[in-house]
Amino acid sequence: GEDVEQSLFLSVREGDSSVINCTYTDSSSTYLYWYKQEPGAGLQLLTYIFSNMDMKQDQRLTVLLNKKDKHLSLRIADTQTGDSAIYFCADYSGGYQKVTFGTGTKLQVIP
């Protein structure tokens, strides 16, 4: 079946940039997402990119997609302590709304 993989942990200093990486296997993915999970809460969609795009920028967030290598990344500029959370990469290939999530990357921001 489809697989989405991420590193488990990332630690950065406040003010630095964070880059969270993800690889996926489903070549028919139409949308790729980044969800954010804050402590004790559910997941919330942070941003997404359509599979025919290479890059999407949204304020401090930059999403890069390398479809050939099936690699997705999320860059957070000027990382703040409020960005500390678990970030999930996910992909969607249409049909019955089935979304496959990665294992999540826990981002720790050091003041």
Partner 1 sequence: DAGVIQSPRHEVTEMGQEVTLRCKPISGHDYLFWYRQTMMRGLELLIYFNNNVPIDDSGMPEDRFSAKMPNASFSTLKIQPSEPRDSAVYFCASSFLRAGANTGELFFGEGSRLTVL
Pick from 7, 11, 25, 44 the residue near partner 1 by CB under 8 A: 44
Pairing of strands 61-66, 55-58: antiparallel
Q: Which of residues 88-107 bind partner 1 (CB under 8 A)?
A: 88, 92, 94, 96-104
Nearer to partner 1, 14 or 100 (CB): 100
Residues 13-32 that bind partner 1 (CB under 8 A): 30-31
Residues facing residue 19 across a β-bridge: 75
Q: Note the residue count of the chain.
A: 111
Burial of 23 (0-12, 13-18, 19+ CB in 10 A): middle
59 lines the binding site for partner 1 (CB under 8 A):
no
* Closer CB to partner 1, 15 or 94, in the complex: 94
Distance CA 44, CA 40 (A): 12
Interface residues toward partner 1, by CB under 8 A: 30-31, 33, 35, 40-45, 48, 88, 92, 94, 96-104
